Amino acid sequence: MPSKWAGKSSACGKIALFPDTSDFVIRKLISRVFRGNKKKPAAGAAAIIPVASHGITRDRLSSASRRTCEALHKAGFQAYVVGGAVRDLLLGAEPKDYDVATNATPEGVRRCIRRSRIIGRRFQIVHAMFGQEVIEVTTFRGELDANTKKDEHGRVLHDNVFGTQQEDAARRDFTANALYYDPASENVIDYHHGVGDLKAKTLRIIGEPRARYREDPVRMLRAVRLAAKLGLSIDPEARRPIREMASLLENVPAARLFDEMLKLLTSGHAVKCITQLRDEGLHHGLLPLLDVILEQPMGERFVMLALANTDDRVQRGKGASPSFLFATLLWHEVLAHWEKLQQAGEAKIPALFQAMDTVLDVQGEKLAITRRIAGDIKEIWSLQPRFEQRAGKRPYALLEQPRFRAGYDFLLLRAQAGEIASEIADWWTRFQSVDGEDRAQMLLPVPADEKKRRRRRKKPSNSVSGTSA
Ligand code: ATP
Ligand code: MG
């Protein structure tokens, strides 16, 4: 999804590509490095860091990112792996995804790479596809100027000017994210002292922090997420204005916030991120319920356990399911509604379904939860009362449910959080691990009133009794 950065705007206004100039600058700089000139580069110029110094050889890149750059180089364009992938490689971590920056226009990129398509109507980018891997290829962005369209708070709405590599570097958020790796020379090109900052474990914003947050408030969230994920500390200059500027996040479209929150929650460091978001005063209004949940003692315990669990899965290389995550985040809200409806005289199961709908209707819209995710969340929730039924044939039917595993994991969390007796969760753990006679032996006796109800239901027609949840 082309959800990068601030706004993206319709077809490019001015195109300012200066391949020759940039090549010249780079050649000049390379020759300076080879002359052994160790002087700090002049403002605006890049430091060229050779492989002997950073140690990242081109075979460390994903094959798709390498092939994307090769195809563009062959056609005479500049092309670099940029951003998070270079940063992660320098830190010795496996990049989550690869981005390539080039001086070719989106059309130019599309012509060079057979399986590629242009995405986005405003700031267009290209998805280059090689097997399963998709590389996001972006044309160098130009400087923001007086014509840049912003909202009344200063958030950039239209971002449609192409530019030079140097301009592109200045448009990136943090110095560690403005590094360009050239697979041909294996050099890292560093305009903003990003390599040094990485070495010092500092996340430093490029430019004046307040102005950069105003342009795009999501950068505050990115700062917290990246610092937590990479074990960096946010530079005090960048950290200081966050608390007072937090309210700017309210103007960010819900879908973008949802994407960013999802990244944060599935980063493998969600507990750290959420704790830090709270410390920075950023959690209010982000996930509308997060503040409410975190203020209820049971809710907080449950959510934190769920996040710790997700972190553990992600760190072990297992994916995290967005539906499971949001099911946990919203569960205590469902519980509160469910309880209220039952107290008002509604029967248990219809009350649960009504509570689920209410919560999803309200939160689904605010969070831009897709219909498919909402469906999955409901399934996880609606399985919960069925775990209480441990007699007759019902446990066997539950085991066959396609969402059994997610429902069971959710049950374990509830038990861990002290919301239900751990005996129920233990029973289900054992029920899955044994079979045949041992499994049958575990079943609880069908309560007398349940037997009576079943007989009554069977009499008129010979239909099989349905499950109640
Ligand atoms: P991750 O490890 O989550 O992928 P990332 O830094 O690579 O982290 P991406 O969303 O993949 O994040 O973005 C790729 C690059 O695009 C970033 O490294 C940064 O250079 C630039 N970028 C992304 N978002 C912004 C933003 N809001 N403002 C400025 N630059 C951004
Ligand atoms: Mg990335």
Secondary structure in 3-state letters for the chain: CCCCCCCCCCCCCCCCCCHHHHHHHHHHHHHHHHCCCCCCCCCCCCEEECHHHHCCCHHHCCHHHHHHHHHHHHCCCCEEEECHHHHHHHCCCCCCCCEEEECCCHHHHHHHCCCEEEECCCCCEEEEEECCEEEEEEECECCCCCCCCECCCCCECCCCCECCHHHHHHHCCEHHHCEEEECCCCEEEECCCHHHHHHCCEECECCCHHHHHHHCCHHHHHHHHHHHHHCCEECHHHHCCHHHHHHHHHHCCHHHHHHHHHHHHCCCCHHHHHHHHHHCCCCCCCCCCHHHHHHCHHHHHHHHHHHHHHHHHHHCCCCCCHHHHHHHHHHHHHHHHHHHHHHCCCCHHHHHHHHHHHHHHHHHHHHCCCHHHHHHHHHHHHHHHHHHCCECCHHHHHHCCCCHHHHHHHHHHHHHCCCCCHHHHHHHHHHHHCCHHHHHHHCECCCHHHHHHHHHHHCCCCCCCCCCC
376 is catalytic: no
Å from CA of 216 to ligand 1 middle: 12
Q: In angstroms, rounded to a whole number, what is the distance separating the alpha carbons of residues 136 and 375?
A: 30
Mutate to test the pocket of ligand 1, among 102, 173, 212, 214 (most ligand atoms within 8 A of CB): 173
Which residues of the chain register pLDDT less than 50?
Answer: 1-3, 6-41, 463-469
In which region does residue 202 sit, left (phi positive, over 0), alpha (psi from -120 to 50) or beta (all else)? beta
Name the residue at shortest CA distance from atom 5 of ligand 1.
84
Q: In angstroms, rounded to a whole number, what is the distance separating the alpha carbons of residues 46 and 26?
A: 8
Is the CB–ligand 1 distance for residue 97 below 6 Å? yes
Is the CB–ligand 1 distance for residue 5 below 6 Å? yes
Is the CB–ligand 1 distance for residue 4 below 6 Å? yes
Would you tell me the crossing angle of helices 218-230 and 254-265 to the nearest 10 degrees? 10
Can you give the pLDDT at residue 150? 81
312 is catalytic: no
Can you give the pLDDT at residue 408? 97
Query: pTM (2 decimals)?
Result: 0.78
Only one residue has tokens 């219809």, namely: 350
